[in-house]
Structure formats: structure tokens, C-alpha cells
Amino acid sequence: MRLAIRVRPGAARAFVGGAYGEDAIVVRVNVRAVDGRATEAALRAVADAFGVRRADVRLVTGTTSRDKVVEIIGNEQELTERAAVLLMT
């Protein structure tokens, strides 16, 4: 499953939830956007939120952007249902 995310670095704590635009999920991370640390933290947060291993989450586009597309490997139906819940959080 491919998923659009919007990374917000520098948050008080990591949190995945809420919508950005029409279909992107907001990923708040508690690290600054320096040397790719925010991207790595965002990928870990997405893995935790979807209940998959970090190795099952891959960055597709957006290496240096706050807007990213990730690919999550897992049960497509479960991932889609979880994404719908996270968009509404």
C-alpha cells in the first residue's frame, strides 16, 4: 500500500494521525529535520502506527521534503482500514 504523509518535525512527542489536504496523514516526530533524522523517525512512527516492522515501511518519494510517499508491506485490507482511522484521528 502506498500512503502520502506530511511530516511535522520538532513535536513534543511522536504521533501519527490527522489529515493534511485530502489524503495525506500527518506524522509528528520529536526530532529536528537535520541529516534525515526526521524522515527516519517518521518511518518508524508509521511502522508503529500500522503495526508492522520498520523494514516493512519504505520511502518512495520525498527524501528532503515534508511531503512524502511511503510504501507499507502488509495485509492490504487491514492497512487501508488503519489508514482510514488515522486520517480521522
Domains of the chain listed by start with CATH number: 2-88 (3.30.1200.10)
Report the chain's C-alpha Rg in angstroms: 12
- Supply the pLDDT for residue 6: 98
CA–CA distances in Å: residue 10 to residues 2, 13, 22, 24, 39: 25, 8, 23, 19, 12
Is the whole model's pTM more than 0.75, yes or no? yes
User: DSSP label at 54?
Assistant: G
Type of residue numbered 37: R
- Supply the pLDDT for residue 59: 98
- Supply the pLDDT for residue 89: 82
